């Protein structure tokens, strides 16, 4: 069988196309898929390594700050109220009231029965406005960590002497160590 030149050329082109398609689908296409897969895996690895690097930087900075934190915390026991010092606290409050020439009255407290490691005191302070504010400033400057729960100021005029007085209701709480 002899093929004409035209059929030979068509056969060669078809064979070449078939071999080309075979190479494309057996070698090139799987290689492209594998390259895309490697690209995705590389991206995920880079993101993972960046997160690890950021965590290591945060850990290093935290370790560096640890000494600073330890130094700061060493002073805390001096500012925390210890159980058994209730009389000293009340005496200190009365001393501040006497120093500022204001009348102080403890209207409520749990000094006798401290619950949840929290001491709560309600005070009513009466006197001249500037002296009441001085009293408040002195309370703020105490060595204890105080949390003001409520602060209420009100002014009144004495009907007899016509003098203006200021009354302050102050509720504070503090952490107690047993």
pLDDT, tens digit, 9 for 90 and up, residues 110-164: 666 776 777 788 899 999 889 999 999 998 888 777 888 899 988 888 788 777 8
Q: At 169, phi and psi to the nearest 5?
A: -100, 125
Q: Which element (helix H / strand E) includes 37?
A: helix 29-74
Where do runs of H (alpha helix) occur along 75-102? 86-100
Residue 138: phi and psi, rounded to 5, are: -65, -35
- pLDDT tens by residue, 8-29: 899 999 999 999 999 888 988 9
Cα angle vertex 172, ends 167, 176, to 5°? 155
Per residue in 51-99, pLDDT (tens digit) is 999 998 898 888 888 888 888 777 666 666 667 777 787 888 899 999 9
The per-residue pLDDT for 86 is 76
Beta bridge partners of 170: 123, 151
Confidence (pTM): 0.56
| Residue 1 pLDDT exceeds 80 | no
Instruction: List the structure tokens of 162.
Output: 């016509």
- DSSP state letter for 76: G
Quick count: other Cβ atoms within 10 Å of Cβ 128?
A: 15
- The β-bridge partners of 169 are 124, 152
Structure tokens at 6: 């035209």
């Amino acid at each position: 069988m002899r093929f004409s030149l035209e059929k030979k050329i068509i056969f060669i082109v078809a064979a070449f196309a078939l071999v080309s398609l075979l190479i494309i689908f057996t070698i090139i296409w799987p290689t492209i898929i594998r390259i895309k897969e490697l690209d995705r895996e590389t991206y995920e690895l880079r993101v993972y390594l960046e997160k690890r690097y950021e965590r290591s930087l945060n850990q290093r900075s935290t370790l560096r700050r640890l000494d600073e934190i330890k130094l700061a915390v060493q002073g805390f026991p001096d500012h925390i109220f210890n159980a058994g010092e209730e009389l000293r606290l009340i005496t200190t409050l009365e001393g501040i009231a006497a120093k500022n020439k204001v009348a102080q009255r403890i209207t409520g407290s749990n000094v006798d029965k401290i619950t949840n490691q929290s001491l709560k005191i309600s005070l009513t302070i009466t006197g001249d406005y500037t002296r009441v504010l001085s009293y408040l400033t002195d309370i703020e400057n105490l060595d204890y960590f105080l949390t003001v729960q409520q602060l209420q100021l009100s002014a009144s005029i004495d009907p007899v002497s016509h003098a203006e007085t200021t009354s302050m209701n102050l509720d504070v709480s503090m952490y107690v160590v047993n």
